[in-house]
């Protein structure tokens, strides 16, 4: 599922349409996008399981009004809303998701002070002043790399302007995996390699210049309203005409724990959030399939009910869901999602479904884009 939607994903094979003949082709087209789409700020910070930017763009073009993404992740829908001049809002349980989505949709005016601060911090990080390194990070970095990251962290803490400071935290977050021995965001495998001294600070500054350039190319317009929240509890703001989202697929990822290196460097302690993560892989492993599935169905119904309640009458509700994978068995997400939408008072108007080969796990999993409508 999600991995397949990353830029560079294999082309979707068969896309099937169901329901309203005017709406289903829009969904089919949105679901069929694959391959790299490096525009705007999308590629600037990795975030697992991103929606394809063109899918978000298609849905925004087809359905008007304020858009809300309750599982906004790295902010794909929110960036597309900014590009389309639309007002938008989003929530996510993950503090890293909120940090990334905020940086990707920040105002162009912040680019210059952010760059200046990053240049200063990068210079200071190359001075040999011994700093404290979080214990859980030690084995993941060459000692001089950890020292450079620690100096950057200490420098960021001292920045007074909160908006600039948030962008600097996002910059640090964008390099902590690349500078580490960890294979990738989603692969917790240690792969030692050498980084020459000074290059981590240089990378930080490079990422600042890159983000600055991207932000300066974003159109004028309001930044989305972002909030760290549980989608089961916090719905869209009044006036929302469109929900576009892609919730976690059951048993596929552990979104919150996979960010542990970032938490350590950024001084974040995700406490209660860990337990509130929907459909996590660890829950399926620890509780077993039947019990975890039951909880996922309940949680799925809860977030759908909360979001549908806040949607304006006549508004649309587009959800990308896919088969989960527990062990080597698929978990159907479509039926419980469609049912929960109907129970929440939405009319399921159309759907598109596509086969996505999951090469990593040698499986074909089906992904669906389901469109609900709230009756007037
Ligand atoms: C598939 S990702 C969303 C990716 C996003 N569409 C993008 O393009 O970047 C699912 C997200 O759901 C978030 N999440 C998990 N449980 C949640 C909950 N109870 N409330 C809100 N967000 C949650 C995870 O942190 C993760 O960012």
pLDDT category at 328 given cuts 50, 70, 90 is confident
pLDDT beyond 60 at 11: no
Mean pLDDT of 149-165: 98
Q: What is the pLDDT of residue 13?
A: 60
Q: What is the pLDDT of residue 48?
A: 87
Please say whether the beta carbons of 296 and 250 come within 8 A: yes
Q: How far is the CA of 197 from the centre of ligand 1 (A)?
A: 36
- pLDDT one-digit tens code per residue, 104-129: 999 999 999 999 999 999 999 999 89
Contact 92 CB / ligand 1 (< 6 Å): yes
Mean pLDDT over 200-224 rounds to 96
Q: What is the mean pLDDT of residues 150-177?
A: 98
Pocket probe mutation, ligand 1, options 33, 255, 320, max atoms within 8 Å of Cβ? 255
Which CATH architecture group holds 2-102+220-373?
3-Layer(aba) Sandwich (3.40)
Cα 109 to middle of ligand 1, angstroms: 28
What is the layout of strands, in order, in the sheet containing 66-69? 15-19, 347-358, 363-373, 316-322, 240-245, 66-69, 88-92, 225-228
Above 60 in pLDDT, residue 336? Answer: yes
Ligand 1 pocket member 246 (CB < 6 A): yes
Q: Are 73 and 101 in contact (CB under 8 A)?
A: yes
Residue 232 has pLDDT above 90, yes or no: yes
Expressed in angstroms and rounded, the spacing between residue 223 Cα and the centre of ligand 1 is 19
Burial 137-152 (b: 16+ CB within 10 A, else e): beebbbeebbbbbbbb
Mean pLDDT across 225-234:
97
Interval 60-98: pLDDT, tens: 999 999 999 999 999 999 999 999 999 999 999 999 999
pTM: 0.94
Mean pLDDT of the chain: 92
Q: Which atom of ligand 1 is nearest to the CA of 77?
A: 8
- The pLDDT, as a whole number, for residue 91 is 98
Instruction: Say how many Å lie between the CA of residue 87 and the centre of ligand 1.
Output: 20
Q: What is the mean pLDDT of residues 234-256?
A: 93
Mean of the pLDDT values across residues 274-294?
89
Domain ranges of the chain: 2-102+220-373, 108-217
State the pLDDT confidence band at 3, using cuts at 50, 70 and 90: very low
CA distance 233 to 75: 20
Q: What is the pLDDT at residue 313? A: 98
Q: Residue 34: its pLDDT value, please? A: 86
pLDDT at 8: 40
Specify the pLDDT at position 359: 65
**SS (HEC) of 129-198:** CCCCCCHHHHHHCCHHHHHHHHHHHHHHHCCCCHHHHHHHHHHHHHHCCCCCCECCCCCCCECCCCCCCC
Pocket flag, ligand 1, residue 49 (CB < 6 Å): yes
C-alpha distances in Å from residue 95, one per residue of 29, 63, 249, 285, 343: 32, 29, 19, 24, 31
Higher pLDDT, 356 or 145: 145
Strands 66-69 and 240-245: parallel
Query: Per-residue confidence at 50, pLDDT binned at 50, 70, 90?
Result: confident
pLDDT band at 270 (very low <50, low <70, confident <90, very high): confident
- The predicted pLDDT at position 6 comes to 41
Structure tokens given for 84? 């389309």
Ligand 1 centre and the CA of 252: distance in Å? 12
List pLDDT tens digits, range 339-375. 999 999 999 999 999 987 776 666 778 999 999 999 9
Residue 174 pLDDT exceeds 50 = yes
- Residue 32: band (very low, low, confident or very high) from pLDDT cuts 50, 70, 90: very high
How would you class 79 by CB atoms within 10 Å of its CB: exposed for 0-12, middle for 13-18, buried for 19 or more? buried
pLDDT at 246 over 50: yes
């Amino acid at each position: 599922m999600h991995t397949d939607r990353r830029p560079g994903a294999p082309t979707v094979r068969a896309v099937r349409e169901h329901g309203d003949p005017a709406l289903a082709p829009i969904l089919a087209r949105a679901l069929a996008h694959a391959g790299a789409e490096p525009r705007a700020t999308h590629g600037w910070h990795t975030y697992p399981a991103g929606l394809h930017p063109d899918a978000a763009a298609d849905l925004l073009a087809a359905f008007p009004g304020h858009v809300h993404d309750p599982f906004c992740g790295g902010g794909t829908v929110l960036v597309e809303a900014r590009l389309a001049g639309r007002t938008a809002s989003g929530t996510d349980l993950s503090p890293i998701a909120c940090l990334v989505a905020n940086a990707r949709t920040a105002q162009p005016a912040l680019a210059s002070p952010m760059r200046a601060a990053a240049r200063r911090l990068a210079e200071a990080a190359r001075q040999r002043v011994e700093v404290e390194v979080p214990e859980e990070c030690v084995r993941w970095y060459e000692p001089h790399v950890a020292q450079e990251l620690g100096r950057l962290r200490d420098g960021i803490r001292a920045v007074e302007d909160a908006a600039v400071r948030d962008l600097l935290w996002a910059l640090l977050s964008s390099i902590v995996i690349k500078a580490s021995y960890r294979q990738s965001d989603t692969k917790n495998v240690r792969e030692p390699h050498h980084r020459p001294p000074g290059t981590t600070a240089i990378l930080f500054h490079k990422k600042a210049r890159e983000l600055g350039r991207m932000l300066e190319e974003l159109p004028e317009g309001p930044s989305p309203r972002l909030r760290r929240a549980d989608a089961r509890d916090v719905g869209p703001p009044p006036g929302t005409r469109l929900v576009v989202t892609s919730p976690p697929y059951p048993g596929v990822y552990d979104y919150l724990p996979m960010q542990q290196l970032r938490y350590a460097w950024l001084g974040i302690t995700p406490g209660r959030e860990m337990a509130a993560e929907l459909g996590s892989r660890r829950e399926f492993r620890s509780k077993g399939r039947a019990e975890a599935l039951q909880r996922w169905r309940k949680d799925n119904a809860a977030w759908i009910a909360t979001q549908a309640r806040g949607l304006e009458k006549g508004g649309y509700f587009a959800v990308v869901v896919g088969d989960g994978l527990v062990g080597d068995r698929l978990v159907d997400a479509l039926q419980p999602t469609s049912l929960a939408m109907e129970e929440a008072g939405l009319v399921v108007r159309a759907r598109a479904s596509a086969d996505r080969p999951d090469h990593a796990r040698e499986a074909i999993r089906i992904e669906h884009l389901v469109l609900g409508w709230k009756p007037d």
